[in-house]
Amino acid sequence: MFGLFSTHALHLADKHGVFAHLIEGGPTSAERVAAARGIDPETLERLLLVLAAVSVVERDAEGLYRVAPALAPSLDPGNPRYIGGFVRHLVTNTTRQLHQLDDYLARGKAAVDAELPAPFETIYRDEAATEAFLEAMWQLSFGVSGELVQLAELDDVRTLVDVGGASGAFAVAALKRYPQLSVTVFDLPQVGPFLDRTREAGRFGDRLGFTPGDFFEDALPPADCLSFGYILSDWEDTTCVELLRKAYDACGSGGRVLLMERLFDEDGGPLATAAMNLSMHVETQGRHRTAAEYTALLKEAGFGDCTVHRSTWDKHLVMGRRS
């Protein structure tokens, strides 16, 4: 019932630099944080009380607040685990679309969506929205990618195409771990300038390429390995199989495909997957799946030797091979 308040409190404290201040300064009163950040102390105290009740911050007997140590990396803008941009996406974009669920219940998704723009027309409606979305994606994917590239064991792979690779979170993790590797991000043209920034910031030169394209219209560039991170969860099964068949054609004999996704347990959990499954419903045409469902999609597209590798985060790897 009260999740609404905690998510907004989380977003506002992040937006106004409260967590960064507490992480740097240690236990502090709401009044002192408010004075330092130039924000209203009473409103901040009320937000912090909610955040203390859900254990995001801890409050001592003197009323001083500190960020719960286990959560500090996720709330520290300077840390690779920081997720403030993703929380902002939930509050500003997802919330705006949640009312569609009521319409879906009354009229069905297909009828409601027929009157709306396609998913990525809304997400990339202007440059600011594009940048905010890609920042949120980076935050969701960069930290875990360090583990996913390890699980993927890419030592024998020379060329990798990251399909819908956005501003390059997975590509960067792969390039850092495997010196023999070159990665091409295949994505919509709007994403190109953001991938350019990543290439320049990491000085990857021609090891990190960008191919603009539309995976519904164009063939995928050939490579030893093709990866799909949070792509199949945007689309229906039939579309997923079409995309995987394109990957099958692109990777040649002995090639591999990597699916990196949240996974549903057999009992319908965990909460993060169930919640993001609702989010996929309103923001895209997709859904989250079990490992067995992803394996079935891979097999339908022709891949075999399918394996599932779980990370310690909430994005996992399902791998298939073209024999």
Ligand X SMILES: C[S@@+](CC[C@H](N)C(=O)[O-])C[C@H]1O[C@@H](n2cnc3c(N)ncnc32)[C@H](O)[C@@H]1O
Residue 283 touching ligand X (CB under 6 A): no
End-to-end CA separation in angstroms for the chain: 50
Nearest residue (CB) to ligand X, 164 versus 209: 164
Residue 292 touching ligand X (CB under 6 A): no
| The one segment of 26-34, 63-71, 208-216, 269-277 that binds ligand X by CB under 6 A | 208-216
Nearest residue (CB) to ligand X, 231 versus 257: 231
Structure tokens belonging to residue 170: 């997975």
Q: Taking CB under 6 A as the rule, which mask of x and - marks residues 131-170 in contact with ligand X?
A: ------x--xx----------------------xxx--x-
Q: Check if the beta carbon of residue 320 is closer than 8 Å to that of residue 302.
A: no
Q: How far is the CB of 88 from ligand X (least distance, A)?
A: 16
| Total residues interacting with ligand X, rule: CB under 6 A | 18
Q: How far is the CB of 152 from ligand X (least distance, A)?
A: 13
Residue 214 touching ligand X (CB under 6 A): yes
Nearest residue (CB) to ligand X, 28 versus 227: 227
Nearest residue (CB) to ligand X, 224 versus 283: 283
Nearest residue (CB) to ligand X, 64 versus 98: 98
Q: How far is the CB of 229 from ligand X (least distance, A)?
A: 3
233, amino acid identity: S
Q: Sign of dihedral through CA atoms 99, 190, 149, 302?
A: positive
Q: Check if the beta carbon of residue 114 is closer than 8 Å to that of residue 53.
A: no
Q: Taking CB under 6 A as the rule, which mask of x and - marks residues 105-124 in contact with ligand X?
A: ---------------x----
Residue 216 touching ligand X (CB under 6 A): yes
Residue 65 touching ligand X (CB under 6 A): no
Residue 93 touching ligand X (CB under 6 A): no
Q: Sign of dihedral through CA atoms 138, 144, 150, 156?
A: negative
Cis peptide bond upstream of 189, omega within 30: no
| The one segment of 49-57, 65-73, 226-234, 249-257 that binds ligand X by CB under 6 A | 226-234
Residue 188 touching ligand X (CB under 6 A): yes
Candidates 65, 204, 230, 294; binder of ligand X (CB under 6 A) is 230
Q: Which residues contact 19 (CB under 8 A, 6 or more apart)?
A: 13, 67, 75, 76, 84
Q: How far is the CB of 118 from ligand X (least distance, A)?
A: 9
Candidates 231, 247, 301, 319; binder of ligand X (CB under 6 A) is 231
Q: How far is the CB of 218 from ligand X (least distance, A)?
A: 8
Query: Which residues of this protein are in contact with ligand X, per CB under 6 A?
Result: 120, 137, 140-141, 164-166, 169, 187-188, 191, 214-216, 229-231, 234
